[in-house]
Structure 1
Amino acid sequence: MNANDTHINRRSFLASAGLLTAGAILSPRLLFGQKVIDGPVQQINRAAATAKINVTKLRGNIFMVEGSGGNIAVLNGPQGKLLVDAGIDVSKAHVAAALKTISNKPIKVLINSHWHFDHTSGNDWLHDAGATIISQDITRDHLTKRIFQPEWNYTFEPLPKGGIPTITYKNEYKKHFNGENILVKTYQPAHTDADSSIYFPNADILHVADTFWNGYYPFIDYATGGSIDGMITAAARNVANTNKHTIVIPGHGPIGNHAQLVQFHDMLATIRERVASLKKQGRDLKGVIAAKPTASFDPVFGNFVIKGDFFAKLVFTGV
């Protein structure tokens, strides 16, 4: 299975949930919490429950699993499996089957890159399967609380006890597992206030989670401390920490590389500058959106869940 195949499958999954229509913009954790009869929550739950899960071998004994929320990294070896992110809980059967295609080794470790639903909803069943869950301390705190997201007028419930991380770190965490010296580092507030990158140095593979949406406009979660300036800083760090040989796992989208990180950073910085200039001129939100500050980037980045006008609104909120 190649990256283009997984890219198409991911878009088909979201399209089946009705999310690619104009104005249907959803938060990554929108599947958690209160219920809306026959609304987007039910649609995407139904889609996630039956979505095809794709497994792509990257380098060495590291794989990317795609199709259940955010992209999952899997380090496989004699000690068992280490996962980065957990996907959506209703995909459990399909994710479990996909993991078995990698090997029959047990699941031992799960690292959460941040708190959003599509990266943590599967925590509980993975814990039951044997995983010790690790996250930044702020991420753990978010997962224990009800969180109201005003952008969507939606309240998210805490994870079950089994899904709460039991090992936490503040700025950095290191783990030796299956011959890899895994390095986990936090970002300053960016996509949320608790994002982490996970680096596999022997394989030169970097999982940057939702600080990079490959080929898509990203969501910025201001409700839990996200920041457009922080996203730009995180994108610059991702560029600095990679080279032409590095394999990059994004939070969403196909497998990435250094050149795509550069393109993503330049997009963020340029749109931020355009929106800030318009706002300084006295334009209100409606006026900024009408000026189409994202127009030159829309053909590349505006073909997924978040469209140009909505991304302009996100940037406007943060400048």
Structure 2
Amino acid sequence: MKKLLFALTLITVLFSNAQNRFDNVEIITHEVNQNVYMLEGAGGNILLQVGESEVVMIDSQYAPLSDKLKKEIARITDKPLTYLINTHHHGDHTGGNENFNTDQVTIIAHTNVMKRLTESEKSKGFLPEKVLEEAYELSLVDENNLIIHVHHAHTDGDSFVYLTKNNVVHTGDVYFNGSYPFIDLNSGGSITGYINAQKQILTTINEKTKIVPGHGAIASYNDLADYIPMLVDLKTQIQKEISDGKTREQVEKNNSITKKYDAEGFGDGYISPEKIRTIIYDSLILEATHK
């Protein structure tokens, strides 16, 4: 009986902590361009595009933050939401979907986002009503948005969104500004696909484009351009370690691989230096297995 009571108490405490961790989260708005805003809270960055008669929201963060987000959005515009685009399926980007979904809102995402949200038994209100395979042009009254799928990058369902007139791109988690990226290998991500996705973004945008990353501060073309060589360098170094017969544990403990970038603060985020080394190691092993 005591064990049961302890278990129930533990569950209650864990649930309460999960709820309370959002209580002190503040939604901070950054103006990216005229009528384009980045909303920072907890989880992935949200982009809000306020058009002449349509409002587009990219990603929805966690469900417990929806009321705070709605309040902040109402401060920015009194126009109703028209489209909600998900850059991928992770809960810190899709958790609020159902809370923002109305009869006037169309949720758009890649087909693999639909697949993964369905597999996780999300209710209908979470799910995309419009799915894309490769690319989709969202035609608005005053602008066209390009939603472009990138293959096996952060996940297998990533898309970046390019606001052509405003010259702003939301990369989703294909870019973590200022920190090592999380690459979800269990959801079809890979280091090679991640690098290729960033290169594809660069060829789509231009040097004046403002970048809203999945996580981190608003960035520039050059910020992303400088990020790619770091990933290429880490991939090259770890591939050499693999070719030399080094084990996963040896690579995990080899601080010299990431030392240069650790000193620049890239390991201070969600992904530690040890974690990025093992992610890339595991990715390269998987890629070699599937060749």
Q: Same fold (TM over 0.5)?
A: yes
SS of the residue 1:51 aligns to:
coil
Counterpart of 1:256?
Answer: 219
SS in 1 for 2:101: helix
Tell me how far apart the structure 1 counterparts of residues 228 and 46 of structure 2 sit (CA, whole Å). 22
* Local SS of the residue matching 2:259: coil
1:246 and 1:258 in contact (8 A); partners too: yes
Alpha-carbon separation, structure 1, partners of 2:22 and 2:54 = 26
Residue number among 154, 157, 167 corresponding to 2:130 in the alignment? 167
Does 2:66 align with 1:92?
A: yes
C-alpha deviation, 1:122, in angstroms? 0.5
Equivalents in 1 of 2:148, 2:250: separation in Å?
39
Whole-Å separation in 2 of the counterparts to 1:298 and 1:178:
45
- Structure 2 Cα separation of the partners of residues 222 and 87 of structure 1: 21
Rounded to whole Å, the distance in 1 between the matches of 2:70 and 2:49 is 15
- Candidates 35, 45, 60, aligned match of 1:71: 45
- Cα distance, 1:160 vs. partner? 1.7
* Larger Cα-atom Rg: 2
Cα distance change of structure 1 residues 176 and 222 upon mapping to structure 2, 3 Å threshold: same
Q: Does 1:318 align with 2:290?
A: no
Q: Is 1:145 matched with 2:110?
A: no
- Distance in 2 between the 1:133 and 1:179 partners? 20
Secondary structure at the aligned position of 2:99 is classed as helix
State the SS of the aligned residue for 1:125: helix
The AA in structure 2 aligned to 1:103 is: T
Q: Answer whether contact 1:76 1:178 (CA < 8 A) is retained.
A: no
Question: TM (normalized to structure 2)?
Answer: 0.89
Q: 1:216 to 1:129 in 2, by over 3 A?
A: farther
Distance in 2 separating the partners of 1:283 and 1:42: 44
What SS is found at the alignment partner of 2:138? strand
Equivalent in the alignment of 2:143: 180
Shift of 1:77: 2.6
Q: Evaluate the alpha carbon distance shift between residue 266 and residue 110 of structure 1 in structure 2; reply closer, same or farther with a 3 A threshold.
A: same
CA contact 2:114–2:131 (8 Å) conserved in 1: yes
Task: Provide the alpha-carbon RMSD of the alignment.
Answer: 1.8
Greater RCO (CA < 8 Å, at least 6 residues apart): 1
- Residue type matched to 2:117 in 1? L
- Unaligned 5+ residue runs, structure 1? 1-34, 147-157
TM-score, structure 1 length as denominator? 0.81
Q: Give 1:121 deviation, angstroms.
A: 0.5
Do structure 1's residue 102 and structure 2's residue 83 form an aligned pair? no
Structure 1 Cα separation of the partners of residues 253 and 191 of structure 2: 20
- Flag structure 2 segments of 5+ consecutive residues without an equivalent: 1-9, 285-291
Alpha-carbon distance, 1:43 to partner: 4.5
Q: Which residue of 1 aligns with 2:251?
A: 288
